[in-house]
Amino acid sequence: MALKKTSELLNLGSSIDLADGVPAHLTISLPLNALDREVFVVTDITIDMEPLIEPLAAGHDVSMIFSVNKSSTGVLTINQPNAIGTLNRAIKTAAWMTATTVQHNFAPHRSTTGTGSDYLSVIATNDYVLSGSYITTAGGAPNRAVFVRMTGYRAQATSNVYSALIAEELNSF
């Protein structure tokens, strides 16, 4: 891909607060210059969250789904081109309260070297989106926060690569 690195590695931090039963999204601005065809090359992403509160009653579940997206405001799975990273956590209790299943998924599961030929994703628009949903079957649980750290660098794309990246990003919902 024709990208010319224009900065050293940068760490971008962001977070979102999710209320029980209320899907939410938050758009985070990136310091990119569209006239110079600047893009942000994501080399690593880490997603963390406040712990889920284990249900006190039998048969109740708690779950959180979350994604970092290039432009989509919905929660995506990692197989969708607009998704940069995803998180899926759930606690499910049996009706008789003898078994609890805890599910933890985070994608991608790898880190990169940060070299020009090694990256996870490229953001071509001037922002990215945090999108998530936190749900308990009992309702009324306190808010849970999700924290994101993206590492990457600014780069300048050739005009044909920049056009293709913009088109892919805006059409991959």
Structural domains for the chain: 3-171 (2.60.120)
Question: At a CB cut-off of 8 Å and minimum separation 6, what does 30 contact?
Answer: 12, 40, 123, 125, 126, 127, 128
pLDDT tens per residue, range 16-30: 999 999 999 999 999
Distance CA 86, CA 130 (A): 10
Q: Which of 127 and 57 is assigned the larger pLDDT?
A: 127
pLDDT of residue 57: 76
Burial of 104 (0-12, 13-18, 19+ CB in 10 A): exposed
Residue 148 near residue 15 (C-beta atoms within 8 A): yes
pLDDT tens per residue, range 102-115: 666 777 766 666 55
pLDDT tens per residue, range 124-146: 999 999 999 999 988 888 999 99
Distance CA 43, CA 149 (A): 11
List beta partners, residue 121.
42
- How many residues are listed for the chain in this entry? 173
pLDDT tens per residue, range 72-102: 999 999 999 899 999 998 888 877 655 556 6
Residue 167 near residue 71 (C-beta atoms within 8 A): no
